[in-house]
């Protein structure tokens, strides 16, 4: 049976996550909502912020690269309307049904070259930095 070169990497990641979970104290103050592994051609560390989904909002994730800021949001199934995104130089407002979510951006962006797309209830927003 052929050996997949990524098997060792996945095993190492699993060990790292196991060690992190084992070393957290049991006070209940720490929570893992989820995690994302982002790789790029320059191997630079990326800042990833994630927010848990709540009854009156939806979860979003922000990833900042050198020239772009990417925002991903999962639109809940109970929202039937397509979301509308208002992209401004310092913030993004997502309007979905009766919910409006405002996201402050870590850098100014070029609104003219920024865009969004919705597929399978996943909203992807790409904001080009100014």
Q: What stretch of H or E contains 117?
A: strand 109-119
Residue 99 lies in a domain: yes
| Beta strands per DSSP E along 9-79 | 48-50, 60-64, 68-74
Of the pLDDT bands very low, low, confident and very high (cuts 50, 70, 90), residue 43 is: low
What is the per-residue pLDDT for 114?
A: 96
Whether residue 61 contacts residue 119, with contact meaning beta carbons closer than 8 Å, is answered with no
Residue 53 lies in a domain: yes
Which pLDDT tens digit goes with each residue over 55-94? 467 789 999 999 999 999 988 888 888 899 999 999 999 9
How many domains, the chain? 1
Q: What is the CATH number of the domain that holds 101?
A: 2.60.40.790
Residue 58 lies in a domain: yes
Neighbour order of strands in the sheet with 91-96: 84-87, 91-96, 99-104
* Residues of the chain above pLDDT 90, percent: 41
Number of C-beta neighbours around residue 48 at 10 A: 15
Residue 63 lies in a domain: yes
Q: Considering the entire predicted model, what is its pTM?
A: 0.58
Whether residue 109 contacts residue 130, with contact meaning beta carbons closer than 8 Å, is answered with yes
* Structural domain boundaries enclosing 62: 41-129
Residue 34 lies in a domain: no
Residue 115 lies in a domain: yes
Tell me: pLDDT of 96 over 80. yes
């Amino acid at each position: 049976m052929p050996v997949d070169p990524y098997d060792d990497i996945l095993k190492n990641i699993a060990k790292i996550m196991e060690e992190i979970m084992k070393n957290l104290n049991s006070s209940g103050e720490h929570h893992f909502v989820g995690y994302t592994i982002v790789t790029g051609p320059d191997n630079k560390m990326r800042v990833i912020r994630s927010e848990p989904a709540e009854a009156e909002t939806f979860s979003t994730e922000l990833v900042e690269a050198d020239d772009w800021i990417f925002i991903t949001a999962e639109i809940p199934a109970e929202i039937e309307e397509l979301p509308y995104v208002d992209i401004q130089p310092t913030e993004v407002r997502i309007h979905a049904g009766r919910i409006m979510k405002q996201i402050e951006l870590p850098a100014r962006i070029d609104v003219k070259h920024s865009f969004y797309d919705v597929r399978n209830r996943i909203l992807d927003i790409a904001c080009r930095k100014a």
